[in-house]
Structure 1
């Protein structure tokens, strides 16, 4: 079977006919597109500068003047505090010029202004060609959405700019949440209260389906949600032990109803014919109950947080920052079993001579790297879900039976999810340890990627990429 190659674009480019040539040409075009996008962002800033409403007072005066003149044009705020306002009609004109709708053009101009005036370190990297415009726009979009104060935006800019080329969306979210916790404490507390007040559980009886089912939706406290999920999971497993052949999703739905009926069952005799002294009847024989597993929240606090000098901690389960006040509330619940783990030295060389990786080493590896270390993979290294599977501890250098002692050491292991473990084992992908927690990957075609706890960086050079070559143009 053969594949017909695509036609050249407008006759100006000959599509390579080999894999290495396709990858090299694609990278070249991507770099050119990034340069063009950076230029377009600079033009967007210049367009806004040419059409300003420079201050709020000027904006209000301008709005009054155009209204009196019978014009509906209004100055618009496109970015956060500190960025200039822009005349409304100019947005539509710029959007039309670049071939997008007005609302899309509004977002584009807002991203450009956010970068130029509130994220200057990220902007400098875009202008220099060191940071792809689309990656910078992703940062700007999040800081605008979070309505950060200028000082909070500067905090995000300072921490994100050096790693904006490789930062993952989840990491960016954590930095923004930390900025809110540090510099907008009233806002953080208000959001926490609003989230708590916004908890709800809706059971829609008015939209019962023909099959006799109802929709349930809600928002719970994280600890309550984990406990509920844990209880449903255990009961669904019991239903399977009792012989249920339903799918897991169906058994979970049945389990929720069973939980409700257990809570509604009276524990004391009620009614006029009740017999308080009657001996309780034996319960129907059931399958042996599985041991109830407790949901574990892995909470990380710094010494400064314990001493009251820090406002933010971290929940490893969700890899999100959380206020110290919320951690205090969870730990203070009467049904909480609190276990304080000692500080673990992640740089220690703990090793064994066997091929199998003991838990004490696997835990160090997971805490050091947090996720699978394949480029751009974000699967958690440690299994935080009783029904899930954590990453495998891979011997970066293959284990040699009968070889030197101490081959199974935290410094020689890396977490790989099953998919990427298989990829590394059964394909030409290879990697080496630069230092514990930092890995240099090589693809089958010779492209190289540096992966560390901050993200993934493409570090390919022509010297390293032995299989890469540019396809000669006509």
Structure 2
């Protein structure tokens, strides 16, 4: 492979130059934007690159430049780890770095932790492979796959594995692009098994911990259920669904996909036959109500022009679905002035009422830390100004103006003084560096806008509370417990412990059983 600059224009064709010039002349940044120059970098290309036509070269360089930019995010994540480690050896640097990455790149908590973990694994254990990322040959998704597949390999065997991976990623006469994720994982499994059979077995056991079922809302009042299971478990469920499909009548109007979806629903209800197209049991219409023991919370923002509802854990649904749900729904109305009253008796209690909890979660939608996507119903209700248990009148109040939704991770880091925040008079959350932030800068202001179904009511009813919150945040009064909530061991140590534990189990499984050889017959 050879290196070249991604922005060279020596081989560009006249049409491309004309289109580029036309675009640059017409482009004017919209309000709120300005332009800046991004850093350029050299990228890796195959030796055959010089023989390609200019159009192919331009497209190829564009992809390499994208990969190199993704490599820059990994380098940035590792720089955050270094700064966090140098600033405070007691706090977990990976936790601190993940919040820095998440805030600056608007990544979810899971995405930020994954990027930080990949940065540590590649830069500290696979430097040659990391170089392929920073020079644009592979992208960040490939980097994630490499970091995950090599996580259980012994440190002493990593250099040889790093060399094999680089050779396996190199272009060939038949392949001028990096392998895609599927073939890449197969190649990685092959090299890991060759270099470290114990690590390969430990990795197989580690993947069992990744089993999960997730629900993702999609359009049209539908949701997508994704499951990560063992191969045996997935085949068992698929076979059961196929068996249920065979119970459908010959004139059933549903497609095969609809029948499989109905089969999965029947499994969850422990039915031995498919439900009718309307969801009822074929022979017992009351069976649906008998098995449904789930309470669904929904929000109605009161807008007369909006005929739908917002379901907690899903999002907005159409008027048709809303009408069906409202037939058996129980409504609850609460005055916002009551929930925000700082002089009420409830404002002096630490625990919020059920009505206040539902409103705050419906207003914020998710954790209010920038980029975090943890649903509000899975978060803590945090007192923006810490609650004073000795004198409730002096501290933060338990009102809608003084509470924000924070996931447990960002709640802890806010309490430990790495971050602070307040709600401005428009209801937008403003995050600043706390007194213990590794790169504390008084000028930092990162905005986070509530995105729940009740976000239109986010503005505080008592704007003076915003001024008090801002003063508390800028003064570094983020709460007590700063010294007592430091966690040990750190994530890095926990990963090493997990590696040793899973490798020990793998060695025991792979060790030949003593005396298991068949004895010769007399």
Q: Taking structure 2 as the reference length, what is the TM-score of the superposition?
A: 0.32
Higher RCO (CA 8 Å, separation ≥ 6 residues): 2
